[in-house]
Amino acid sequence: MELSCGRPAAALPGMEAESPGEDYESLPSGASLSTHMTAGAVAGILEHTVMYPVDSVKTRMQSLQPDPKAQYKSVYGALKKIIHTEGFWRPLRGINVTMLGAGPAHAMYFACYEKMKRTLSDIIHHGGNSHLANGIAGSMATLLHDAVMNPAEVVKQRMQMYNSPYKTVLECIRTVHRTEGLGAFYRSYTTQLTMNVPFQAIHFITYEFMQEQINPRREYNPRSHILSGAIAGAVAAAATTPLDVCKTLLNTQENMALSSVNISGHLSGMANAFRTVYQLGGIPGYFRGVQARVIYQMPSTAIAWSVYEFFKYFLTKHKLEKRAPY
């Protein structure tokens, strides 16, 4: 998730900003690499795990040829049915690999983003803020994030599918590597990037627009960050659902779906995925699971934004308090 700092901010409550560069919207210039990585890792893990059961439902609802026993009409109905027929913990299968991936992926994302943003801003805008620098930094950070997260996504989604043959994460990794090769873990990488670029753009623009409407002074306001993040996540999630459906097909390699359109072996390539989804479901096929995706993304992005904004507020406040005369 791209968190740009390209806007002026008000001073912290009860304090005067020391200079234009020392405001809440920018993490302290002296913040270490580990600070950015810790903030990013916490935000990332919470973002991906709090709503994980809904993510499991989303993966199943995006199935193009679902088993008759795994056809669901609503998110609530799906969760209720999964727990009743497959056990209480079934919606959480694969959450461990998600946590293992999300922590380092988001840690590197935030660290790369902050470093690239400052470096490029110095070059493009001579120390000031540059929207171009923010955009380039976000794109570069996304490349790194997805490179780490994509293998975890493949394993996670295969664990989430109905009647998954894999009992453990390690078994899934070993089987996929042995039968499909290392490339299977990156089969959807280009689709993931193609999805994340517009997702980040829509997400960021919507968040900034909402902040202008409900928090024009850009103060630390948890409710405004949560609301803006939730709306931004919902809009971006709905708009990019077709790409997410294609990514799910590439990750899971649904046997029933592929055999029904006479595809032998493994499906690869975004264009082939788009064609296959259309063959199996027409235009509505591109929006399978959109309800679950939006319900999952709203609280997830709200959590990520609020956690990251809190870290910025807390760290800046701590720094200013240390500088204040006794």
What pLDDT shows up at residue 20? 34
Q: What is the pLDDT of residue 17?
A: 37
pLDDT of the residue at 124: 82
Decide if 109 contacts 47 (C-beta within 8 A).
Answer: no
DSSP, res 90: G
How many angstroms separate the Cα of 107 from the Cα of each of 203, 271, 274? 20, 32, 32
Q: What is the pLDDT of residue 27?
A: 45
Q: In whole angstroms, give the CA distance from residue 77 to residue 305.
A: 29
Tokens read off for 325: 């005369």
Structure tokens at 183: 């490339």
Residue with tokens 């975004």: 270
Q: How much is the pLDDT for 13?
A: 39
Closest residue by Cα to residue 152 from 97, 95, 96, 91:
97
pLDDT for res 8: 37
Kindly compute the dihedral angle of the four CA atoms of residues 119, 123, 125, 130, in this order, to the nearest 10 degrees: -40
Q: What is the chain's length?
A: 326
**pLDDT per residue of the chain (326 residues) written in tens, 0 to 9:** 434 444 433 333 333 333 333 344 444 555 677 777 888 888 889 889 989 999 999 999 999 888 889 999 899 999 999 999 999 999 999 999 999 999 999 888 878 877 887 888 788 877 665 667 777 777 788 888 999 999 999 999 999 999 999 999 999 999 999 999 999 999 999 888 988 878 877 887 888 789 889 988 878 889 999 999 999 999 999 999 999 999 999 998 887 778 887 777 788 888 989 999 999 999 999 999 999 999 999 999 998 888 877 877 787 777 677 766 65
pLDDT at 19: 35
Q: How many CB atoms lie within 10 A of CB 309?
A: 22
Residues 258 and 267 sit within 8 Å (Cβ to Cβ): yes
Residue 24 main-chain phi, psi, to 5 deg:
-65, -35
User: Which pLDDT value is given to residue 3?
Assistant: 41
Q: How far is CA 50 from CA 45, 83, 92, 104, 216, in A?
A: 8, 17, 10, 17, 29
- The residue type found at 194 is T
